[in-house]
Amino acid sequence: MGTVEGMHEVRSPYSGDVVGEVAEQTWDDMDGALDAAARAFETTRAQTAFERSGVLLAAADGIRKRADELTKLIVDEGGKPYKNAKVEVARAVSTLTWAGEEAKRFTGELIRLDTEQTAGGRLGLVRKFPLGVVLGISPFNFPLNLVCHKVGPALAAGNTIVVKPATSTPLSAVKLEEILREAGAGDALQVITASSQDAERAVQDERVAKISFTGSSAVGWHIKSLAPRKKVTLELGGNAAVIVEPDADLAHAADRVAYGGFYQAGQSCISVQRVLVHASVRDGFVDALVPRVEALRVGDPSDEETDVGPLIDAGALDRVDAWVREALDGGAKALCGAKRDDPCYLPTVLTDVRPDMKVSCNEVFGPVITLQTYETFDEALQLANETSYGLQAGVFTNDIEKVFRAHREIEVGGVVHNDVSSFRADQMPYGGEKDSGFGREGLRYAMDEMSEMRILVLSGIDL
């Protein structure tokens, strides 16, 4: 990991205790990592599918064997509740397993080119080739699995990758690098804990062929502006809407919203934020939802029964509290929560929220949801689209025509039927529209974005 000039303490957002240390690295370390990754590309680009798959499957097995250690690490460094951290580790195993399997299936196609009289006997062979060095910049909220979502497809497609993890949660990425090296990845993965300024400099470095960024919209679009000629994937913020129709199972919808709005303290870009409920079932839905939200256990993330842990830092807690107080001062009402319990914020359900309030039009990224009623499905679709974000949405209804209409008309990367926006399977295409991003993650889809397509035209072929 380069020359150590000092050590950076990683502290628990819940207790404030030091839970680990990583090297304080500089541009010299980043420069060395880019060089090492560029050299390693000469090896990875020539690997067979069998070799690429073998490394990734061995790494998946390495995570599986160290699941308890990694679960505790995620709890300690990010304050994620134990039950959610355990799921994240299992998903990381799945992500690298999918990557290893997709490495064997990653191929091209044959195209007939003898379709015009002048073309003669020609055949097109389309193949996908790795790009080179990928720069992956990952956030704090999934410190292991979102790194796997960058590392897995990069290595499966034959690239190398330099990862810059979030400053607040670097330990999981460092441990992943160790596991990949044990699996035989060598220098194909480099984890660098340098500054954001050094990462920004790397974005413009000629050795970087592809950038994969997950984080805030402002930073993501800035990064894209710095590298207009490079391939860039951006997975950014969200302001997810969930629609509850009159025919919905209200108990099921309430269960899922109580989960999807507050797991990880709402610190997920597909967390439920705006709940749109048909006026005819509003009271019944509220009666089902509020007791479920109030029953969520808030506090120590290491407690296996905890549902809602701390915000990542004091600044995030202050911001969420300020936004809620601003909404209440402006006429919104709290059905529950709306209080801080440092370093946590109590799960909050707000009503009578105006569209211009921050809790409605911006990404809260905290344990706060808003509740709004509508009269027609047309109105619900319009309200769902009244945001600059477009990542995912949920629709609770048994009317299949409405489901397909929602899929067609809600401006998001994914619509989830009879569930919340928070659902994600690691192999599915994942990404957003509008301010929510550019390009798609999800193993095979990310591999496409981390490769380039070339055609070989074969002449004189007797078809």
- Residues designated catalytic: 235, 269
Measured CA to CA, the distance from residue 460 to residue 280 in angstroms comes to: 69
User: Cα(first)–Cα(last) distance of the chain, in Å?
Assistant: 54
- Residue 209 CB neighbour total at 10 angstroms: 19
C-alpha 30/C-alpha 279 separation (Å) is 55
Locus of tokens 């060095």: 133
SS3 163: strand
Burial of 268 (0-12, 13-18, 19+ CB in 10 A): buried
Backbone φ and ψ for 274, nearest 5 degrees, come out as -115, 120
Beta bridge partners of residue 4, listed in sequence order: none
In sequence order, the 6+-apart residues with CB closer than 8 A to the CB of 236 are 214, 215, 216, 217, 220, 221, 269, 389, 391, 432, 435, 436, 437
Question: What CA–CA distance (Å, rounded) separates 50 from 248?
Answer: 47
- Residue 268: name the closest of 255, 281, 259 by CA: 259
Q: For residue 68, give every residue at least 6 positions away whose Cβ sits within 8 Å of its Cβ, in sequence order, or none.
A: none
The Cα–Cα gap between 324 and 334 comes to 9
Residues 6+ apart with CB under 8 A from 285: 244, 250, 253, 254, 277
Q: For residue 181, which amino acid is it?
A: R
Distance CA 83, CA 335 (A): 26
Cis peptide leading into 153, omega within 30 of 0?
no
Strand partners, 362: none
